[in-house]
Amino acid sequence: MTTAATPVIRRAEPADVDELIRLRAYLLENDDSDSAALPYTASTDEARTAWRTGYRAWLAKTLTHDADVCVAVAPGPGRLSACAIAVIDQRPPSPAYPSGRVAWMQSLVTDPRDRGQGLGTAVIDELFDWALTRGADVAVMQSASGAVDFHRRAGWLPTGEGLYHQPVTTRRKG
């Protein structure tokens, strides 16, 4: 009987920035009809340039200076195969999170060439271990429609709450 090797997972480093941008583009620049209308996808060249520039600057600062952010990666042959981000958010305490520390996990993406090998699960497991050391009570993850089954198989439970989006402008709508 052969078993798959346990994937090697590590924290992202500044040298990974270009690869992290390449992987996140699978989420933010997807042109399929289901995700093209989502508020966080880039539908123009200007929007693509803007998020890539902002993400590059955020990574440069975050990867070296932010103790409440972890970017976990699965290295592949000459590139990254998968990544995910966890951000510890300090919220008002509640019964679900008595310390108020919530690990918001996001941007889980696996290179299409590397899917089906357990890499997404492995990077999330790494983030759970990290969130535990940072004192988080609970982890929260928004799922893209195509990943709902993946998240449910991995033990994520739906909250039954809707997630809403409205740009912060000088004048709020409504």
Tens-digit pLDDT profile for residues 121-141: 999 999 999 999 999 999 998
- What are φ and ψ of residue 170, in 5° steps? -70, -20
Between the alpha carbon of residue 92 and those of residues 25, 59, 98, 121, the distances in Å are 33, 27, 8, 29
User: Per-residue pLDDT for 7 more than 60?
Assistant: yes
What is the C-alpha separation between 41 and 37, in angstroms, rounded?
Answer: 7
- pLDDT for the residue numbered 101: 95
User: Per-residue pLDDT for 35 more than 70?
Assistant: no
**Which residues fall within 8 angstroms of residue 120, CB to CB, at 6 or more apart?**
82, 84, 108, 109, 110, 150
- pLDDT for the residue numbered 60: 94
Q: Return the structure tokens found at 65.
A: 């200076």
- pLDDT for the residue numbered 31: 64
Residue pLDDT, tens place only, 64-78: 888 999 999 999 999
What percent of the chain is modeled with pLDDT above 90? Answer: 61
Per the prediction, the chain carries an average pLDDT of 87
- pLDDT for the residue numbered 96: 87
* Strands 101-110 vs 138-141: parallel, antiparallel or unpaired: parallel
- pLDDT band at residue 159 using 50, 70 and 90 as cut-offs: confident
- pLDDT for the residue numbered 87: 96
Residue pLDDT, tens place only, 68-109: 999 999 999 999 999 999 999 999 999 989 999 999 999 999
